Amino acid sequence: MTVATLQRNATGFKERNKSYFTAFNNDITPSSIACPESVDKVARLVREAVHCNAEIGVRGGGHTPWKGAANLEDRLVIDMRNLTGVTVNTEKSTVSIRAGERWGNVYETLAAEGLATIGGRVSRVGAIGLTLGGGLSYFSGRHGFVCDAVSNFEVVLASGEIVNANKTTNPDLFTALKGGSNNFGIVTKIDLPTFPLGKLWGGMTVHPGTSYPDAARALKNYVTSPTPDPDAHLLLSMGWAAMMGGELTVLSLYHANHSTVEPGPASLSEFTAIQPRLNSSLREASLVEFTAEQSSFSVDGGRNLYFTTSIKPDLDLLVGVQELFRKAIEPIQGCKDLAFSIVLQPMTAQMLRRSAEAGQNALGIPADDGPYINVLINPVWSESKDDEKIVQTSLDLIEAVDKAAEAKGKAARYRFMNYSYGSQKVIESYGDESVQFLRDVSGKYDPEGFFQKNVPGGFKLGIH
Ligand SMILES: Cc1cc2nc3c(=O)[nH]c(=O)nc-3n(C[C@H](O)[C@H](O)[C@H](O)COP(=O)(O)OP(=O)(O)OC[C@H]3O[C@@H](n4cnc5c(N)ncnc54)[C@H](O)[C@@H]3O)c2cc1C
């Protein structure tokens, strides 16, 4: 390698490698780690890996929970975290974000100018990894997925060439990268639009588990409203943990354009009316504060996984999810330090239309198929002996939710990559047309299939 790499016994190797979001990735030991701080070095690394037919891992913020998404046993890992930079253009209309950045620094840099952008809700997550998987933002109601807002990707292809992908230059690659993840090259920079932003309204309200049906009803009404508020954003979580004393219902509520703490925004009033309330952090705060707060709810290096599906709204189905959840977790409640949650997030018809209006992406969601509700299952636990049964329980619960949705004619094909487990068929969920398109784009920009065969992490196109 002509670019310096950290070998296993080098100072700093262990620290760098043991810094993923989950233990599953920390437990993998690559042969070496390259930390390029320039785009030219990324290109050289790719050229040399192609030349040697070497397998590589590509690591951004390291927050994909499942094993091997961004780390690779006994192989080279290209760790993008040294390629940093958040630059606002002179007109202050666009921010360029380098591949090593996380959302926290992006928002802090923009806040200094009174600006924000469409990005992740948790400061510690990698900016480019999240965007390449679609990306849900506090501002998705108005703008669609994070990937829809990108105006340019700078990419190192398998040839080592550094290219731009935007509406006019390599437009097919541009479309493919909006949800196509690491299948086409290593992205070294993205450009996103900025907008002025003051304080947000938001925070969390905590309720007993028995409040869940009220929250589910509010969610159903919200997501099916003919005129959903584009500035509102919410997550409904139902969780169980022995250490919390059993079940809790938690609402995370946000609004980008509302100025009084009490009363909150009218569009969220059915949620804020839910009683009893055990706790509330509703307030006005900056995007930097809210995303840092969200970041403080999880720690690195634990046993923590994501699984997902999408359903269409139906009150009985949503209420019934609680019973499916209770039944599923009963046999595993003895697992040490288990906290098991199911999180429901609305994708309004308006959000999905705005996504379609922004231009084609890889996700293959028909513009008029919404609204959807994203279902995220998130177990956290502490002992490796429980891994298998917790994974199986989570997959079974996903299957049970899918079956219940199918029985009501409320199933949705799309799987949100950023919350998917490694065995879930994410690219397939984009639909045949999108899959064929992505394969064609791969054939054009990576004819030997390097990013298919030699970059095994992530969700692949299934062509080699
Ligand atoms: C605490 C937490 C909060 C989250 N919040 C949100 C949220 O608000 N919205 C949302 O949409 N998702 C969210 N996610 C999911 C998150 O977006 C995904 O896990 C995402 O893949 C993380 O990106 P990363 O760069 O941190 O991770 P990595 O695991 O480093 O990368 C993710 C994937 O992208 C590839 N990749 C990374 N960088 C590049 C690059 N430069 N070029 C090519 N491929 C690359 C990697 O190979 C890997 O397969 C959250 C996850 C966690 C753990």
Q: Note the pLDDT tens digit of each residue in 261-300.
A: 889 999 999 999 999 999 999 999 999 999 999 999 999 9
- What distance separates the 2 farthest-apart alpha carbons in the chain? 63
Q: Look at strands 56-59 and 76-79 and give their pairing.
A: parallel
331 within domain boundaries: yes
Protein residue whose Cα sits closest to atom 34 of ligand 1: 129
Protein residue whose Cα sits closest to atom 23 of ligand 1: 129
Q: What is the mean pLDDT of residues 408-432?
A: 98
Protein residue whose Cα sits closest to atom 52 of ligand 1: 63
136 within domain boundaries: yes
450 within domain boundaries: no
Mean pLDDT for the chain overall = 97
Protein residue whose Cα sits closest to atom 41 of ligand 1: 187
Q: How far apart are CA 358 and CA 356, in angstroms?
A: 5
451 within domain boundaries: no
446 alpha carbon to ligand 1 midpoint, in Å? 22
For residue 120, the ligand 1 atom closest to its alpha carbon is 8
3-state secondary structure 193-218: EEEECCCEEEEEEEEEHHHHHHHHHH
Q: How far apart are CA 211 and CA 381, in angstroms?
A: 25
290 within domain boundaries: no
425 within domain boundaries: no
Q: Can you give the residue range of the structural domain that contains 332?
A: 200-285+298-419
Q: What is the pLDDT of residues 132-179, one digit of tens each?
A: 999 999 999 999 999 999 999 999 999 999 999 999 999 999 999 999
Pocket of ligand 1 (CB under 6 A): 21, 58-65, 69-70, 80, 99, 120-122, 125-126, 128-130, 132-133, 135-136, 181-182, 186-187, 298, 418, 457-458
Q: Are residues 76 and 186 in the same domain?
A: no
Q: Are residues 171 and 213 in the same domain?
A: no
Question: How many structural domains compose the chain?
Answer: 3
431 within domain boundaries: no
For residue 60, the ligand 1 atom closest to its alpha carbon is 30
Q: Are residues 97 and 210 in the same domain?
A: no
Q: Are residues 33 and 61 in the same domain?
A: yes
- pTM: predicted TM-score of the whole model, two decimal places: 0.98
48 within domain boundaries: yes
pLDDT at position 387? 98
Among candidate residues 401, 419, 437, the one where a domain is terminated: 419
Tokens of 156: 């190192």
269 alpha carbon to ligand 1 midpoint, in Å? 32
pLDDT at position 219? 98
pLDDT band at 464 (very low <50, low <70, confident <90, very high): low
64 alpha carbon to ligand 1 midpoint, in Å? 5
Neighbouring C-beta atoms of residue 277, cutoff 10 Å: 15
Look up residue 391 and give its amino acid: V
The residue among 98, 43, 82, 58 whose CA lies nearest residue 458 is 58
Among candidate residues 197, 222, 238, the one where a domain is terminated: 197
Does the pLDDT of residue 225 top 90, yes or no?
A: yes
pLDDT at position 261? 85
Among candidate residues 149, 180, 197, the one where a domain is terminated: 197
Q: What is the mean pLDDT of residues 406-424?
A: 98
Does the pLDDT of residue 244 top 70, yes or no?
A: yes
Q: What is the pLDDT of residues 96-133, one digit of tens each?
A: 999 999 999 999 999 999 999 999 999 999 999 999 99
Q: Read off φ and ψ for residue 129, nearest 5 degrees.
A: -55, -45
Q: Are residues 186 and 213 in the same domain?
A: no
Q: Report, in angstroms and rounded to the nearest whole number, the Rg of the chain calculated over CA atoms.
A: 21
Q: For the domain that residue 168 is a member of, what is the CATH number?
A: 3.30.465.10
Mutate which of 63, 117, 308, 451 for ligand 1 pocket (most atoms within 8 A of beta carbon):
63
374 alpha carbon to ligand 1 midpoint, in Å? 17
182 in Cβ contact with 130 (< 8 Å): no
- Long-range contacts at 101-107 (CB < 8 A, ≥ 24 apart): 101/126, 101/127, 101/128, 102/61, 102/126, 102/127, 103/127, 103/130, 103/291, 104/288, 104/291, 104/292, 104/295, 107/287, 107/288, 107/291
For residue 416, the ligand 1 atom closest to its alpha carbon is 11
Tokens of 86: 């958040």
Q: Are residues 178 and 225 in the same domain?
A: no
186 alpha carbon to ligand 1 midpoint, in Å? 14
Look up residue 276 and give its amino acid: P
Q: For the domain that residue 40 is a member of, what is the CATH number?
A: 3.30.43.10
22 in Cβ contact with 13 (< 8 Å): no
Look up residue 446 and give its amino acid: D
